[in-house]
């Protein structure tokens, strides 16, 4: 038995949906009771309980597990106890990392009770093999679940967690859909407007004008707490801001004609749970599985109208600024479009995000291609000249790099904090010796140790910040050399090219036009590669 008061134990319990089928032996309550008894029998003080109910062991991004890691980092916990290794995790690589590396580095003891694993002892050789078996179990469960879902899809059952807008799950059979009449009326309205020849823009504006809650808000208003985050607290408390994408999905979904279309996405790996879209020809479609909201004739007509409405690009214009152009207002990428001017399609860049979310990006930020080209071309030529004039370049960059005086102060401060770190290391060593010699009791030892460790963390954070600041000067010097080498390749170029822009420029930020001294001006800010700043 360990001396009481030394260990501050974290009781960690986990139960996934699959584990929940195993009965009471794996329940959260059973895990708690078992681990509480072990702590009581061994005199461990329980610091807190950490419970992830319904979370897979293959993913360590669990809320309470992350909270546990934060408490370990803060020095609040030095003992972690689980029922067995599988409660900690079923990914043998990450479970092994936490057990054999992370806990050891943080001086945290780990106990897996039923597996007989205790990192304080040396007889844990069987643990890696148990971790592999737990991983194989998770893989096998994932394969079985995937096979079962595919079979249900082939049988025309509904297998998603959330019913599509306009439907709800049958109260006695969750794999069957029935019509939600209130939402179905909105779906019928969307198709009615589409059949009248209205486009998505008009349909979206109509739904907003009628103050119809969005599908997510509708679910929230009907008591589904999972959709609370989609409420924006505006528009008298109800989110009625329909967007084009939502209308587009409803207009193309076969579910509204009574067909079940499954296997639209699949998981890449049972470990990552990341979903990827499945090609449309591999979707599993079963017809006439539930009552339709829209007739097949109307659905077919709407699909024809959607296809007819598509028009190819009006221009063949080179898009050399693609992927480097950003809106300074909202940070989103600008897209290339055209407008008819004097009988010609004139290219310009605009912030499409402004039209989708005018409350977040308030300015209609746009710039004509020709104006952008002229300004960027001039700034790049200016940059070429500055790279060959070191003094003028440094004068231009004054304030963007660490100045000499600031550098000297940072070096002096670094020396000071390094000395304090060395002193803290000696103090903590002496503290431990006093504790072993029983000069200090366990409670006082831990209290002093926590204070010193907290100071040590703060000083290490400051040291990292100082080194980062000092590194900027060296990084700039190296960065300028790299930028100059790349720039030299294009000194003879008379025209801008996509290759030149992407090799020289990290991003170009476009600000909305504004009046300055009676003139309309539009500022652009070029962030160059290698130095991550403008010149």
Q: Quick check: 232 pLDDT over 60?
A: no
Helices H, strands E: what count in the chain?
17, 19
Q: Quick check: 22 pLDDT over 50?
A: no
Report pLDDT for 234. Answer: 44
Calculate the average pLDDT of the chain: 81
Helix-strand-coil split of the chain, %, nearest 5: 50, 15, 35
Q: Quick check: 235 pLDDT over 50?
A: no
Report pLDDT for 273. Answer: 53
Closest CA to 383 of 523, 504, 478: 504
**Could you give the percent of the chain with pLDDT greater than 70?**
81
Q: pLDDT by residue (tens digit) across 256-268?
A: 999 998 877 776 5
Report pLDDT for 426. Answer: 83
Q: What are phi and psi for residue 460, nearest 5 degrees? A: -65, -40
Q: How far is the C-alpha of 163 from the C-alpha of 127, rounded, in Å?
A: 43
Q: What is the mean pLDDT of residues 135-139?
A: 61
Under the banding of pLDDT at 50, 70 and 90, the label for residue 277 is: confident
Report pLDDT for 518. Answer: 77
Report pLDDT for 206. Answer: 92
Q: Quick check: 69 pLDDT over 90?
A: yes
Q: What is the mean pLDDT of residues 320-334?
A: 90
- Among 53-62, 106-115, 171-180, 404-413, whose mean pLDDT is lowest? 404-413
The answer for residues whose C-beta is within 8 angstroms of residue 113's C-beta and 6 or more apart is: 34, 35, 38, 81, 82, 83, 84
DSSP string, 84-107: SHHHH-S-HHHHHHIIIIIHHHTT
**Could you give the percent of the chain with pLDDT greater than 90?**
27
Under the banding of pLDDT at 50, 70 and 90, the label for residue 430 is: confident
The answer for residues whose C-beta is within 8 angstroms of residue 298's C-beta and 6 or more apart is: 191, 195
Report pLDDT for 258. Answer: 92
Q: What is the mean pLDDT of residues 224-243?
A: 63
Report pLDDT for 4. Answer: 41
Under the banding of pLDDT at 50, 70 and 90, the label for residue 72 is: very high
Q: What single DSSP character describes residue 146?
A: H
Closest CA to 165 of 204, 214, 234, 125: 214
Report pLDDT for 402. Answer: 46
Q: What is the mean pLDDT of residues 216-233?
A: 69
Q: How far is the C-alpha of 199 from the C-alpha of 148, rounded, in Å?
A: 40
Q: What single DSSP character describes residue 264?
A: S
Q: pLDDT by residue (tens digit) across 104-124?
A: 888 999 998 888 888 887 655
Q: pLDDT by residue (tens digit) across 38-68?
A: 998 888 999 999 999 888 887 888 889 999 9
Cβ-contact 58, 65 below 8 angstroms: no
Burial environment of residue 495 by CB neighbours within 10 A (0 to 12, 13 to 18, 19 or more)? exposed
Report pLDDT for 233. Answer: 43
- The whole-model pTM stands at 0.43
Which three-class secondary structure string do you get for 344-406? EEEEEEECHHHHHCCCCCCCCCEEEHHHHHHHHHHHHHHHHHHHCCHHHHHHHCECCECCHHH
């Amino acid at each position: 038995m360990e001396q009481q008061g030394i260990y501050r134990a974290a009781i960690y319990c986990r139960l996934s949906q699959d584990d929940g089928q195993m009965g009471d032996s794996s329940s959260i309550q059973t895990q708690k009771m078992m681990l509480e008894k072990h702590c009581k029998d061994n005199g461990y003080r329980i610091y807190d309980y950490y419970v992830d109910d319904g979370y897979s062991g293959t993913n360590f991004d669990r809320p309470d597990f992350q909270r546990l890691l934060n408490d370990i980092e803060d020095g609040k916990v030095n003992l972690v106890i689980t029922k067995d290794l599988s409660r900690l995790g079923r990914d043998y690589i990450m479970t092994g990392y936490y057990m054999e590396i992370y806990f050891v580095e943080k001086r945290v003891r780990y106990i897996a009770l039923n597996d007989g694993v205790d990192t304080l002892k040396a007889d844990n050789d069987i643990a890696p093999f148990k971790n592999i078996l737990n991983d194989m179990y998770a893989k096998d469960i994932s394969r079985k679940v995937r096979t079962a879902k595919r079979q249900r899809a082939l049988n025309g059952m509904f297998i998603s967690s959330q019913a599509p807008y306009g439907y709800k799950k049958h109260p006695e059979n969750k794999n069957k859909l029935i019509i939600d009449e209130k939402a179905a009326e909105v779906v019928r309205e969307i198709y009615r407007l589409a059949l009248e020849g209205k486009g998505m823009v008009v349909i979206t504006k109509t739904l907003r004008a009628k103050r119809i809650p969005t599908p997510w808000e509708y679910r929230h208003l009907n008591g589904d707490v999972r959709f609370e985050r989609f409420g924006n607290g505006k528009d008298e408390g109800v989110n009625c801001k329909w967007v084009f994408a939502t209308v587009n999905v409803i207009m193309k979904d076969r579910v509204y004609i009574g067909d079940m279309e499954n296997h639209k996405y699949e998981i890449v790996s049972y470990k990552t749970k990341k979903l990827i879209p499945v090609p449309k020809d591999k979707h599993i479609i079963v017809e006439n599985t539930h009552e339709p909201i829209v007739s097949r004739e109307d659905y077919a007509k709407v699909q024809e109208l959607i296809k007819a409405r598509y028009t190819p690009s009006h221009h063949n214009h080179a898009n050399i600024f693609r992927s480097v152009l950003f809106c300074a207002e909202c940070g989103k990428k600008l897209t290339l479009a055209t407008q008819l001017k004097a009988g010609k399609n004139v290219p310009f860049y605009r912030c499409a995000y402004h039209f989708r979310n005018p409350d977040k990006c308030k300015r209609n930020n746009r710039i004509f291609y020709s104006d952008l080209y002229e300004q960027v071309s001039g700034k790049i030529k200016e940059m070429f000249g500055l790279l060959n004039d070191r003094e003028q370049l440094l004068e231009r960059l004054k304030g963007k790099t660490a100045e000499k005086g600031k550098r000297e102060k940072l070096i002096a401060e670094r020396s000071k904090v390094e000395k304090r770190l060395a002193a803290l290391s000696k103090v903590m060593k002496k503290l431990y010796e006093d504790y072993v010699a029983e000069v200090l009791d366990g409670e006082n030892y831990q209290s002093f140790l926590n204070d010193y460790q907290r100071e040590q963390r703060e000083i290490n954070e400051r040291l990292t910040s100082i080194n980062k600041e000092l590194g900027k000067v060296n990084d700039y010097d190296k960065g300028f050399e790299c930028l100059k080498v790349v720039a030299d390749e294009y000194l003879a170029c008379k025209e801008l090219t996509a290759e030149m822009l992407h090799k020289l420029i990290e991003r170009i930020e476009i600000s909305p036009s504004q009046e300055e001294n009676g003139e309309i001006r539009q500022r652009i800010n070029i962030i160059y590669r290698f130095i991550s700043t403008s010149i």
